[in-house]
Amino acid sequence: MYIKETAKNKKSKPMESSEKLEWKSIYTIVLVANATYIILFYFLMKTFS
């Protein structure tokens, strides 16, 4: 019985939930840091190649 209920719940569309996810400022900091790392690594590789 539990398996059938779980299967029904998995079929529901993810957008049906009324929860609104919050974008935290740390996410932006991490994205900018990753982009900076990629750019610096690119120039570093160009310098030594």
What are the tokens at 38?
């990629």
What pLDDT score was predicted for residue 13?
61
Q: Strand, helix or coil at 11?
A: helix
Which sequence spans correspond to the domains of the chain? 23-49
- Report residue 12 as tokens: 């529901």
How confident is the model over 1-49, as pLDDT tens digits? Answer: 656 665 566 665 666 667 899 999 999 999 999 999 999 999 999 999 8
Entry pTM: 0.54
Tell me the C-alpha distance between 46 and 42, whole Å.
6
Query: What pLDDT does residue 31 have?
Result: 98
